[in-house]
Amino acid sequence: MTATVPRHVASEPADDIVADLREHGAVIVEGVLDPDLLARFNAEIAPILEQVSAERSYLNPAVDFFYGDRVRQITGVAARSRVFGQEILCHPFYGAVCDAVLGPSCSRYQLNVAQVMDRGPGADQQILHRDEDVWVHLPRPHPEVQLASVIALVDFTAEIGATVVAPGSHRWERERYPAPDDLASAEMPAGAAVLYLGSTIHAGGRNVTADRWRRGMHMSFVVGWLRTEDNNYLSTPPGVARTLPRRSQELLGYAAHDAIADGGGYLGTVDLLDPIELLAQGKL
Ligand SMILES: [Fe+2]
């Protein structure tokens, strides 16, 4: 793996980070979660992970194969971690990047899925893939619909299975498959994230250590008019959502997608009203 991914720090102007993201399809950004936030999040999810088995089944055999049986997963993180629901989900860093990447394609963007992926010893490299292929019916070319990331919750090294990325692959012909020299290992310290576009080829790396878990969290956002991977309304039901900041409620999809000012219509209403207002009024 000899390709490289541009590196930034989270305090730099979002425009600089987004410019490299558009150019290379991926960027590594250090300091997305500061040490205090990282420590509090890790402390909150550690006991949850202890209750999770890596040997589980998923919704179908293809997904079983994709994740394998060496990965402990936590989804619905907003309902299971106050630190996530109150701070990480609505982190201003992601807001600034999503405003730039997704803002032009929608009236409002939303969380697609947050998924802690604790990849254990012996976890094989995932199949190289593009995250946006879950929306296979979307015609191409299309505007950016997804901003994806993997946040390192421990130090990511190649041997522990750091995310593997093919920089520039967002502009490749669909048929091109990465050669070894096209790939980079997103090695980065805990608290950093590798950000990538939905069309950028990547995979979870192979964990060749004997006893270390590669704890990371996929977090991605999509335009507000696409079906999300996680069913956020069921994963974080109204009783939980109403205890979260309004910004987090918006990102979980509780706010209507109102494109009327752009000549479109609205999506996601309840009784033809905006659910986020119903939540605020105690009616949901
Ligand atoms: Fe992926």
Output the CA 246–ligand 1 centroid distance in Å. Answer: 28
Output the CA 271–ligand 1 centroid distance in Å. Answer: 36
Q: What is the pLDDT of residues 21-37, one digit of tens each?
A: 999 999 999 999 999 99
| DSSP structural state of residue 38 | H
Q: What is the pLDDT of residues 153-209, one digit of tens each?
A: 999 999 999 999 999 999 999 999 999 999 999 999 999 999 999 999 999 999 999
The two structure tokens encoding residue 251: 């990102």
Quote the pTM value: 0.97
Residue 172, judged by CB atoms within 10 A of its CB (0-12, 13-18, 19+), counts as: middle
Rounded distance between C-alpha atoms, residue 87 and residue 104, angstroms = 25
> Do residues 218 and 115 make contact, with C-beta atoms less than 8 angstroms apart?
yes
Output the CA 283–ligand 1 centroid distance in Å. Answer: 37
Output the CA 221–ligand 1 centroid distance in Å. Answer: 13
Output the CA 45–ligand 1 centroid distance in Å. Answer: 21
Output the CA 136–ligand 1 centroid distance in Å. Answer: 14
Rounded distance between C-alpha atoms, residue 178 and residue 183, angstroms = 7
Rounded distance between C-alpha atoms, residue 147 and residue 222, angstroms = 6
Residues by chain with Cβ below 5 Å of ion ligand 1:
131
Output the CA 175–ligand 1 centroid distance in Å. Answer: 18
Output the CA 196–ligand 1 centroid distance in Å. Answer: 10
> Do residues 9 and 17 make contact, with C-beta atoms less than 8 angstroms apart?
no
Placement of tokens 């509780």 in the chain: 254
Rounded distance between C-alpha atoms, residue 247 and residue 212, angstroms = 35
Output the CA 231–ligand 1 centroid distance in Å. Answer: 18
Mean pLDDT, consecutive 10-residue segments, the chain of 284 residues? 96 98 98 98 97 92 90 97 98 98 98 98 96 97 97 98 98 96 98 98 98 98 98 98 98 98 97 98 96
Output the CA 128–ligand 1 centroid distance in Å. Answer: 8
The two structure tokens encoding residue 96: 């600034």
Output the CA 129–ligand 1 centroid distance in Å. Answer: 6
Q: What is the pLDDT of residues 47-56, one digit of tens each?
A: 999 999 999 8
A 10 A CB-CB count for 252 gives 25
Output the CA 130–ligand 1 centroid distance in Å. Answer: 6
The secondary structure element, H or E, covering residue 22 is helix 14-24
